[in-house]
Amino acid sequence: MKIDEDRFLSDLHTLRGFGAAGVGKGVVRPAYSPADVDARKWLAGKMQEAGLRVEMDAMGNLFGLAEGPSILMGSHSDSQPEGGWLDGALGVIAALEVARASRAAGGPAISVVSFQDEEGRFGVTTGSAVWGGHLSLAEADKLTDHVGAALGDAREAVAHMVTGDVSPDQFSGFVELHIEQGPTLDTSGEQIGVVTEIVGIRDMKITFEGQQNHAGTTPMHLRRDAFQAVSSFNALLNDRLRNVVTPQTVWTIGHVSLHPNASSIVPGRAVFSMQWRDGQTDRLARMETVIRETATEVAEAQGMSLSFGPMLGLEPVTMDNSLCAALEAGAEAVAPGNWRKMPSGALHDATNVSRHLPVAMLFVPSIGGLSHTFEEDTREDDLVAGVEVLAKAVAALGSGA
Ligand code: GLV
Ligand code: MN
Ligand code: MN
């Protein structure tokens, strides 16, 4: 099977053109935005050109299907509100290239997917969560983004492309190539990571409601300032989690919305995202207890009312042994002695797909360990090495995986 490097890199750059923004190779292509829909239309054309049958389900997950049983490969083509050109896009275009090369060589049948809203504009990996059966379409439709738009309304943007459900029964396994999005491979100088497991995640919105008031006339001791509550909560939480976490555990307040968000008004309401990730389900649960208790304590001490939004989450998932073995053999052939096995701290569609199919993942280095920023990038020879490993692995597996 012969990978066409130039065709692969050229398609990757073309995809970046949909929503290109910021410095370097930045992208703004959130789920269901015009750039996302245009990118999906272009991808559908590329799938068709590659001899694949194009299907889209109600969520906007886009499939290019081979005839008969096949291996499914791909990732997502939506981006963070400020994202890089490779997060998800690499896995989709690599899958397309391997599907084309395999077909030309008479190799195993490869189908291609670009899942929708992996980046969680509306939740956590919502497109593959619905396809994988973790979330019903009706539940997903009720999810809202940070400005209150509902997923059920947003997905109207792809309604004209929807063909129907795509059954997982036709696939023997799922393989996803992705950039690492962290510093491990970049620091060690290794070219390939074969993923062993993907961490679990919990994500919910928390609201502190105090009293909006005048910032000049309200004495400090009489204030019920929602920002002060968030600030105290954050400081206390960092302290209290110390006894629960490991050096691999992470937690993030990434979105804060203050009302009314004006210099001369004591903020009356703060709504913020609270997200935490770890490889152990029981640790995720212990962290939840600490988070809820700390928020309750701060609310009581500062005269706030407190509410918690719905808890979203995914469990940690282990990769399939025989798919991993094929990726490891491919990694050793392409980068002898220069690859490692490693866990993934980022979430991926593979987590949801694992409810239906054996799954495995491959990483290539992220320069400077940067991702979810316009600065995200990977050296071209590393991108190509990742595709070569995929090609070797699927050639060894055959369509029956
Ligand atoms: C997905 O990009 C994640 O947040 O890990
Ligand atoms: Mn991604
Ligand atoms: Mn991402």
Report d(CA 51, CA 4) in Å as an integer: 17
Query: What is the full per-residue pLDDT of the chain (401 aa) written as tens digits?
Result: 999 999 999 999 999 999 999 878 999 999 999 999 999 999 999 999 999 999 999 999 999 999 999 999 999 999 999 999 999 999 999 999 999 999 999 999 999 999 999 999 999 999 999 999 999 999 999 999 999 999 999 999 999 999 999 999 999 999 999 999 999 999 999 999 999 999 999 999 999 999 999 999 999 999 999 999 999 999 999 999 999 999 999 999 999 999 999 999 999 999 999 999 999 999 999 999 999 999 999 999 999 999 999 999 999 999 999 999 999 999 999 999 999 999 999 999 999 999 999 999 999 999 999 999 999 999 999 999 999 999 999 999 986 66
Q: Decide whether any atom of ligand 1 lies within 6 Å of the 312 Cβ.
A: no
Q: Please give the number of the atom of ligand 1 that sits closest to the Cα of 371.
A: 2
Say yes or no: CB of residue 209 within 6 Å of ligand 1. Answer: no
**Of 132, 147, 111, whose CA–CA distance to 59 is shortest?**
132
- From the list 284, 331, 286, the residue with the least C-alpha distance to 312 is 284
Position in ligand 1 atom list of the atom nearest CA 125? 1
Best mutation site among 372, 373, 376 for ligand 1 pocket (most ligand atoms within 8 Å of CB): 372
Q: What is the C-alpha to C-alpha distance for residues 374 and 388, in angstroms, rounded to an integer?
A: 26
Ligand 1 lined by 201 (C-beta under 6 Å): no
Which one of 119, 273, 351 would you pick to mutate in the ligand 1 pocket, going by the greatest count of ligand atoms within 8 A of its CB?
A: 119
Residue nearest to atom 1 of ligand 1 (CA): 347
- Kindly state if the Cβ of 295 falls inside 6 Å of ligand 1: no
User: What's the CA-to-centroid distance between 108 and ligand 1, angstroms?
Assistant: 30
Nearest-ligand number for the alpha carbon of 75? 2
Q: Which atom of ligand 1 is nearest to the CA of 346?
A: 5
Pocket test for ligand 1, best of 117, 179, 181, 278 (most atoms within 8 A of CB): 181
List Cβ neighbours of 168 (8 Å cut-off, separation of 6 or more).
72, 131, 353, 356, 357
Strands (E) located in 85-132: 110-115
Q: Residue 312 in contact with residue 123, Cβ under 8 Å?
A: yes
